[in-house]
Every structure is written in C-alpha cells, then in structure tokens.
Amino acid sequence: MNPIQQGIDALVLDPTALLCMAIGLGLGLLVGLFPGITISMAVALATGFTLTLEPAQGLAMLLSIYVAAQYGDRIPSILVNTPGTPAAVATTLDGYPMAKNGQGGLALSISAIATTVGILMSMVVFMTLAQPIASLALKFGPFEMFALVCFGLTIIISIASRSVAKGLLGGMIGLGLATVGLDPITADPRFTFGSQEMTGGFDFIALIIGLFGITEVLDQVLTYHASRVRPISSLGRWWPNRHEMKRVAKPMALSGLLGIGIGIVPAAGGDIAGLIGWNRAKAISKHPEEFGKGSIEGLVGADTASSSTLGGALTTTLSLGIPGDSVMAIMIESMVIWGIQPGPSLFERRPDLVVTIATIMIVATLISTVVSLARTRAMTKLLDLRPQFIWGVILVFCVVGVYATTNNVMTVVQMVLFGLLGLGFRRLGVPAGPVVLGFILGPLAEANLRRALLIDDLGGFLTRPIAIVLILLAIASLVWPVVRDARNKRRPVAAEGLVE
C-alpha cells in the first residue's frame, strides 16, 4: 500500500482514532472558550491520556485540540473582549467593537471562515514545502545541526520574553535541567546526588504539565479579579453578504501568507502573527479609519494571519525537528515517547505518519468550521461559567495525567515542584517557553556539539557556510531586541507599538 493511502487509512479506518479526534475537537473548542486555559496547557494535559494510545490515535487528539482551540478562542475575544488564548489577542481589536455595534453574529461567522482559510492555506504550504526542507536538512552535519538548535533556542528567547536576559536565563535553566541524569555518551552520573531515581533525569510530562498546567491555575488563583463584564447577547445577523466577502478577500490572502511566513519561524506564534496581520490589513485597506472600531477587514486580517501559523509551525517541527511553537514542543516529546523522531528522517522512515498528520489537521479544520458556524450560539452560553469551577478540576487532571504516565507518585511531586517553580518564574517575568525548549533541545545540542568536536575543532564552524549563517542569525535574534528597545527608548512616540 502506498504511504498516502496508508496515512489516510490510519485515521479514517480506525474508530478509536476518530473517537480521539472527536474528543480532541470538543476539548479544543472548550479550551479556547475559557480564557485562562491555554492551548499548550490543554495539549500538555492531554499527553497524560494519549501516551498509552497508538501514535495516530494520540496525534488525532492532540492536533484536534490544537486546531479546534483556534476557533473557540475567538468567541470570548469577540463577545467579552477577553482573548480565549494569546493567539486571539488581535481578534479583540475589531471583533469586540463589531459585537458592540450589534454585529456579534457576523463577527463570529466571519472569524470562523477566516480561521478556516488561514489553516487550509498553511496546510497547502506544509504539503509542498515540508519535504523539500527535510531533504535539505538531511544534508546537515553535526556543525549545522548544533547551529540550527542554537538558532531555534535563541529565537524563542527573543520572542517569548520582554527581557532578553530573563528569556536567556529561562533557556539556560531548561538546558541545565536536561543535563540531570546519566551522560548520554559515557553514562557518568551528572547532578543525581547519588539518587538512583534521578539517573533517568527529570520527567518531561511532569515538567510541561507543571509549567503549563499547575503554574497557570495557581497564577489565576493568585491574581483573580472579579469582573462584572457580561457577554454581549444581542448578536444580530450571522452570515456575511457578497459585498462583505469580496471586501475581505484581499486582506485574507495577504494576512494568510504573512501568517505562514511567521509560523515557519521557530516559536513565533499566532499572537504575533495576528497583530502583524491586523496591521497589514489596515495598511492596504481603503477604510483604515474603521480599524479598531469594528472593521470586518481588521477582524479577517488578524484571524487569518493568526491561524495560518499552524501549518508553518508544523513544517518547522516535522522537517527540522525544531518546535514551531510550545504546542509543537509538547508534540515532539510525545512523538519521541511513541518511538518516532521528528526531523528530516521522518519523511523517509514514516511518510505515512506525515500524511496522517496532514489529514488530521485538514479534517479537524473542516469539522471545527461546521461546528463553529452551527453551534456558536449555544457555546456562548458557557461564557457565563465562573473560572473557579474549573481550577480544582484541572488540578485533579494534572495529578492523574502525570501519575498515569509512570504510576509513581514521585513524578507527581516533580510536577508540583515544577509548577511552583513556574509560578515564581512567571511572577518574575521568566517565560516558560524557553525553559521547555531548552529542556527538549539540550540533549540534541550537546550530542551534536560533541560529535562535531570529534570531527574537527571549534574552527570547523568557520568552514561551513550554513552553520555560520545560522550562528549569525542566532546572535542577531538575541542582539536585535536589545538594539530595538534602545532605539525605541530614544524615539518614544514610535515605540507606542503596533496598535496605536
């Protein structure tokens, strides 16, 4: 059987995979709907359930959450002016004003359509670009791989944090946590303090659920401020007319392409893409004065760009083995636990799995579109639920999810400690993304550097153009935010940001 047929069959002929997809879609829509539950947190929690499943089944659940949350998070952005996830920040700029103007229904429908177009556009790029990129990456030696890992890490540091110093610290701590255990080559114990239990190193699931789940809940408990805002209930008409569809076509295409480009950059996610897409849509609009006051073009620009990062992130993750965003970081580790190594060789060893992933993404997108257009009215009623209801429940699922992976309470203790550490980091401005990425990429970086230095000395980098370019890009991604901030300080008016 050819890999394409095999890949599609792994999803459509397996009732368990379809059930996992249905559960993932339901969870994703709910996750997006409740502000405060991030997609990373939901996917991290779901890994506790999926590790015992077959790869196609587990991926069906994780990727469906990833896709469906892109739809759910637009609802509170439009009706309550509160983004369901960070990726929907730019949706509030025109979505909420539209709802206040009595066009809530139209905003919800057009947002769902823009999201669908964005994801499908990005999947076309994934299907055409991922394999050529992977083929190119297969030619990389240890010098190039080490440089690529450095670039992946530094780019997330510069993007995820307001302070490069704190982002760098987070990345270094992640790298440091990954050194605990036995040395990968000589098997000498490092930082185990004589404990047999620590020779295996820290548990990845405990780390991600601690940093994304426990930290998130504890931070919400700590900072909850009651707000009296009520969802807008008068939604008006739902369907866009022909004139409106014609008006949004151009910003939709432009923002979609922008989002794809941003998604390919490791760690640059929907939040950044949404704001840039909104800004570009304004720049090409005949009615820029309407932006921020309920412009349908602004809404489409933000949502298409934000959602089209998905295919780009997937391309980087699968073809290079470098996570495109924090959800993809979790996905990479889940795949490793299933015995699959994402990266260039995946396209040679398991082409069927790549097809399965693309099929899941496309089917999940189409189902999410139908559900969003048909059931949004009912879903808006859930916005009345108080967040306190879900805090305790999430904590219970964090505990059980982590316990299920090892059947060992000590792994749960690790998770709680990582959660408290993450809370401290968050309060002090250290982002979780670089910590997780450092933990994942650390062993890869060390192994490639050691291999490279067996072949040649450090001067070997200078004889390899790709490695030089990647190292220079890594340095630039750390230096650029510092230079930009210094320039913005000198020009305070220009530093007002993207959205005036």
87 neighbors 306 (Cβ within 8 angstroms): yes
Rounded-to-integer distance, Cα 427 and Cα 445, Å: 29
From 12, 229, 455, 483, residue interacting with another protein (rule: CB under 8 A): 229
Minimum Å gap between C-beta 32 and another protein is 14
Q: Near another protein by CB under 8 A, which window of 144-152, 176-184, 232-240, 333-341? A: 176-184
What is the signed CA dihedral for 303, 305, 310, 311, rounded to 10 degrees?
130
Q: Near another protein by CB under 8 A, which window of 166-174, 306-314, 327-335, 360-368? A: 166-174
How distant, in Å, are the alpha carbons of 38, 146, 155, 390 from that of 151?
25, 9, 6, 38
From 19, 136, 165, 462, residue interacting with another protein (rule: CB under 8 A): 165
Residues in contact with 189: Cβ distance below 8 Å, sequence separation at least 6, in sequence order: 181, 182, 183, 199
44 neighbors 38 (Cβ within 8 angstroms): no
Token representation of residue 19: 């059930």
Judged by beta carbon, residue 328 or residue 452, the one nearer another protein is 452
Judged by beta carbon, residue 243 or residue 389, the one nearer another protein is 389
From 74, 166, 350, 464, residue interacting with another protein (rule: CB under 8 A): 166
Rounded-to-integer distance, Cα 58 and Cα 7, Å: 14
From 283, 428, 462, 483, residue interacting with another protein (rule: CB under 8 A): 428
Work out whether 491 is an interface residue with another protein (CB under 8 A): no
From 221, 336, 366, 367, residue interacting with another protein (rule: CB under 8 A): 221
Query: What is the chain's length?
Result: 500
From 243, 378, 389, 459, residue interacting with another protein (rule: CB under 8 A): 389
From 8, 450, 466, 468, residue interacting with another protein (rule: CB under 8 A): 450
Count of residues near another protein by CB under 8 A: 65
From 18, 22, 133, 173, residue interacting with another protein (rule: CB under 8 A): 173
Backbone phi, psi, residue 182, to 5°: -85, 140
Beta bridge partners of 181: 190
From 124, 136, 138, 185, residue interacting with another protein (rule: CB under 8 A): 185
355 neighbors 7 (Cβ within 8 angstroms): yes
From 20, 31, 45, 49, residue interacting with another protein (rule: CB under 8 A): 49
DSSP 196: S
Which spans in 265-350 are helix H?
270-284, 296-307, 309-320, 326-337, 346-349
Judged by beta carbon, residue 68 or residue 430, the one nearer another protein is 430
From 139, 243, 286, 386, residue interacting with another protein (rule: CB under 8 A): 386
Work out whether 179 is an interface residue with another protein (CB under 8 A): yes
Rounded-to-integer distance, Cα 214 and Cα 221, Å: 11
Work out whether 479 is an interface residue with another protein (CB under 8 A): no
Q: Near another protein by CB under 8 A, which window of 144-152, 216-224, 269-277, 363-371? A: 216-224
Minimum Å gap between C-beta 225 and another protein is 5
Q: Near another protein by CB under 8 A, which window of 39-47, 245-253, 366-374, 399-407? A: 399-407
Residues in contact with 102: Cβ distance below 8 Å, sequence separation at least 6, in sequence order: 234, 236
347 neighbors 354 (Cβ within 8 angstroms): yes
Token representation of residue 292: 């921020």
Work out whether 293 is an interface residue with another protein (CB under 8 A): no
Work out whether 395 is an interface residue with another protein (CB under 8 A): yes
Token representation of residue 356: 């399965």
Work out whether 496 is an interface residue with another protein (CB under 8 A): no
Q: Near another protein by CB under 8 A, which window of 103-111, 178-186, 241-249, 465-473? A: 178-186
Token representation of residue 434: 């670089």
Instruction: Please provide the DSSP assignment of 80-129 as one string.
Output: TS--SSGGGTTHHHHHHHHIIIIIHHHHHHHHHHHHHHHHHHHHHHHHHH
Work out whether 201 is an interface residue with another protein (CB under 8 A): no
The contact set with another protein (CB under 8 A) reads: 35-36, 49, 52, 81-83, 162-166, 168-169, 172-173, 175-176, 179, 183, 185-186, 188-191, 217-219, 221-225, 227-230, 386, 388-389, 391-393, 395-396, 399-400, 403-404, 407, 409, 412-413, 416, 420, 426-429, 446, 449-450, 453-454
